[in-house]
Structure 1
Amino acid sequence: MDWVAPVSTAIGAVIGVGSALLSERIRWRRDLRGRAVEARRELYASFLTSFDATFRSLEAVERGTYLPDLSRAEAAEDARAAHRLNAIRQHIRITAPDRIVDAVDALYRDIKQACDLLGAGLDRGSEEVLHVVDNINQRAEAVRLEMRRDLGFLMQP
């Protein structure tokens, strides 16, 4: 019966070490998920900030507020490119879930279309621009909603 105590001790040690390792693994995964959510939150905030600045710059082009040595088309293209919207969009494409990538891509296409229309000389009074601006506003709201859902602020539908 001298072997019962060492075996019990060994079994207890194995259980103790195993539960400590399991607990540490769970904590590591939780921390990893938390860091991933925080990284996406920062990325989404950067995209929305860049989108807002790009939209305001395109509005300035529409009002005729741009450098006189640029054509309106060049000013519209500069307004679209100046705020790194596409660079941030590319980062989202490799980081975010597909539903967010799709929403961001649709919004970017509408921004590009608005840029093309403004560059062609159309203004906010034209039906085409009004339609694109309406699409941009709707898509921007959809992007915000999907981002909030991804970050856990809204329940899944």
Structure 2
Amino acid sequence: AKNITGRMQWSAIVATALGTVLGVVSTLVADRIRWRRDTAERDRDALRTVFMEYLTALTQARDAFSRAEPRPERVSKGHVVLGEHGVYAAQQQLELVAQRPVVERAGRATLSVLDFHDVVVAGHEPDSVEYVRSWRAAREARSVLIEEMKAALRRT
């Protein structure tokens, strides 16, 4: 009888210790999962902010280009105005945090807006083939970029 009681005491101690260990482990696992989720959400928010800053700067530059006066001497000088609108600064931020597909599409979007600038300052009217083609190319490059940004946000 004494031997059985001793075994029951040890089994109770082992069960209590095992329960404590499992409780601690499950708490640590839950904390780790919560930390990962919170970190992922912060990363996604930061990425979303950088994306929005870039898109806003690019759109402002494109809209400013659409109102530009024809000045052939300004062809190939759109990069100056892009800098004034903060496109390059926003693009550099993007390059620091975004994956390669987003960065590449952002580069294409920037170049398409530069091409649009050259068409406008070269004197092409808004109803000309060159103007419409360039405007559509800039809009398409932006749309492709936005889709890639959405995919990146889903992956984050």
Question: Please, what TM-score do these two structures have when normalized by structure 2?
Answer: 0.78
Which amino acid in structure 2 is aligned with residue 123 of structure 1?
Answer: H
Residue equivalent to 2:3: none
Aligned length: 146
In the TM superposition, what is the alpha-carbon distance from 1:98 to its structure 2 partner?
2.3
Residue equivalent to 1:132: 134
Structure 1 residues 41 and 81, CA gap change in structure 2 (3 angstroms) = same
Residue equivalent to 1:68: none
Residue equivalent to 1:84: 86
In the TM superposition, what is the alpha-carbon distance from 1:115 to its structure 2 partner?
3.5
Flag structure 1 segments of 5+ consecutive residues without an equivalent: 65-70, 153-157
Matches within 5 A, 1:112-123: 112-118=114-120, 121-123=122-124
Tell me the SS of whatever aligns to 1:123.
coil
Q: 1:99, 1:79 → 2: CA distance? A: 25
In the TM superposition, what is the alpha-carbon distance from 1:129 to its structure 2 partner?
4.5
Mean alpha-carbon deviation: is it higher for 94-103 or for 41-50?
94-103
Conservation of the 8 A alpha-carbon contact between 1:107 and 1:139: yes
Identity %: 25
Q: 1:33, 1:44 → 2: CA distance? A: 16
Structure 1 residues 43 and 112, CA gap change in structure 2 (3 angstroms) = same
Which amino acid in structure 2 is aligned with residue 151 of structure 1?
Answer: L
Matches within 5 A, 1:3-152: 3-62=10-69, 72=74, 76-118=78-120, 121-124=122-125, 127-152=129-154
Q: 1:149, 1:77 → 2: CA distance? A: 28
| 1:86-130: CA deviation from partner (whole Å, max 9, x where unpaired) | 1111221221222212211111122233344555x3434665544
Structure 1 residues 124 and 94, CA gap change in structure 2 (3 angstroms) = farther
Question: Please, what TM-score do these two structures have when normalized by structure 1?
Answer: 0.78
Larger radius of gyration: 2
Q: 1:61, 1:75 → 2: CA distance? A: 12
Conservation of the 8 A alpha-carbon contact between 2:44 and 2:153: yes
Higher helix share: 2
Flag structure 2 segments of 5+ consecutive residues without an equivalent: 1-6
* Structure 1 vs Structure 2 CA RMSD: 2.6
Structure 1 residues 62 and 80, CA gap change in structure 2 (3 angstroms) = farther
Conservation of the 8 A alpha-carbon contact between 1:117 and 1:129: yes
Q: 1:73, 1:112 → 2: CA distance? A: 9
